[in-house]
C-alpha cells in the first residue's frame, strides 16, 4: 500500500520526448517546404487547359520567366479570368524587372544561356493576362537567341 502511495505523485508526469521529436520534425518540414516554394515561382494562376497535353519538366537546366499579374488574389479560383489583364513585373530566375525593361530581361536570359547552353526557358504567365502583355516578353526571350520556350499550365490530373 505504502509503495503505491509513494509512487503516486510521480506517475502522472507526461513523457514529452516523443511529442517533441514529432513536433520538431514537423517544424523542420514546414520550414524547408516554405523556402523551396518561395524561391522562384511567383504566386499566380497559370492557364487551365481543355484536355491538357502538358508534361512534367525536370528541375535541372531551366530558368523560369514569371509574368506576374497586377495583384495575386488568394481567393481567386482556377478558371477565373476576370482580373485586370495588365502585367505588373517580370521575374527572370530570381531577378525582378519592370515591364519597360525588356532589354534587362533579354540580358538576363543571354547571361543564363552563356552559363548553360542547354538551358530551357519556362514562361509562366497568369491565365488572365492579355496576350499583348505577354507577347513583348516572348519577344524579349527570342531576342536572347532562344527559339523555344516552355509554356507553363496545369497538369491533367489537377483539373477540377
Partner 1 sequence: MPATPPTLDTADNLDMLEGDEQVVHHVSQQEKRRKQRDTGGDAMQLNLTSMIDVVFQLLIYFVVTASFTIGEGVITAKLPSGPGTPQQSKQPPERPLEIILNTGGDIGTEYRVSIKGLAGQPRSFTELSDTLIQLQYDPQRGLNGAYKPDNPVIIKPDVSVRWQHVVNAFNAAVRARYSNVSFAQAGAEEQ
# chain residues binding partner 1, by CB under 8 A: 70
CB 87 within 8 A of CB 133: yes
Q: Does 51 bind partner 1 (CB under 8 A)?
A: yes
Helix (H, G, I), strand (E, B) or coil at 69: strand
**130's grid cell:** 492579355
Q: Does 59 bind partner 1 (CB under 8 A)?
A: no
Q: Does 94 bind partner 1 (CB under 8 A)?
A: no
Contacts of 133 (CB under 8 A, 6+ apart): 67, 85, 86, 87, 99
- Quick one: which H or E segment has residue 71? none
Please count the residues of the chain.
160
Taking CB under 8 A as the criterion, the residue among 92, 105, 108, 138 binding partner 1 is 138
Give the shortest CB-95-to-partner 1 separation in angstroms. 20
The DSSP secondary-structure symbol of 114 reads H
Taking CB under 8 A as the criterion, the residue among 21, 24, 94, 103 binding partner 1 is 24
Taking CB under 8 A as the criterion, the residue among 12, 18, 50, 59 binding partner 1 is 50
CA Rg value for the chain: 24
Taking CB under 8 A as the criterion, the residue among 56, 60, 100, 117 binding partner 1 is 56
Dihedral (CA of 15, 21, 22, 27) sign: positive
Where does this chain bind partner 1 (CB under 8 A)?
1-3, 6-7, 10, 16, 19-20, 23-24, 26-27, 30-31, 33-34, 37, 41, 43, 46-57, 78-79, 81-82, 85, 122-135, 138-139, 141-143, 145-158
Amino acid at each position: 500500500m505504502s509503495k503505491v502511495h509513494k509512487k503516486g505523485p510521480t506517475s502522472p508526469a507526461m513523457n514529452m520526448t516523443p511529442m517533441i521529436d514529432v513536433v520538431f520534425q514537423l517544424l523542420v518540414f514546414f520550414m524547408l517546404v516554405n523556402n523551396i516554394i518561395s524561391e522562384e515561382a511567383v504566386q499566380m494562376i497559370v492557364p487551365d487547359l481543355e484536355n491538357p497535353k502538358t508534361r512534367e519538366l525536370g528541375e535541372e537546366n531551366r530558368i523560369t520567366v514569371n509574368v506576374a499579374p497586377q495583384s495575386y488574389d488568394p481567393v481567386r479560383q482556377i478558371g477565373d479570368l476576370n482580373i485586370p489583364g495588365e502585367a505588373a513585373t517580370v521575374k527572370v530566375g530570381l531577378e525582378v524587372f519592370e515591364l519597360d525593361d525588356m532589354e534587362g530581361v533579354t540580358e538576363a536570359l543571354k547571361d543564363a544561356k552563356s552559363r548553360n547552353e542547354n538551358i530551357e526557358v519556362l514562361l509562366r504567365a497568369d491565365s488572365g493576362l492579355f496576350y499583348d502583355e505577354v507577347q513583348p516578353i516572348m519577344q524579349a526571350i527570342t531576342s536572347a537567341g532562344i527559339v523555344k520556350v516552355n509554356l507553363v499550365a496545369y497538369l491533367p490530373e489537377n483539373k477540377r
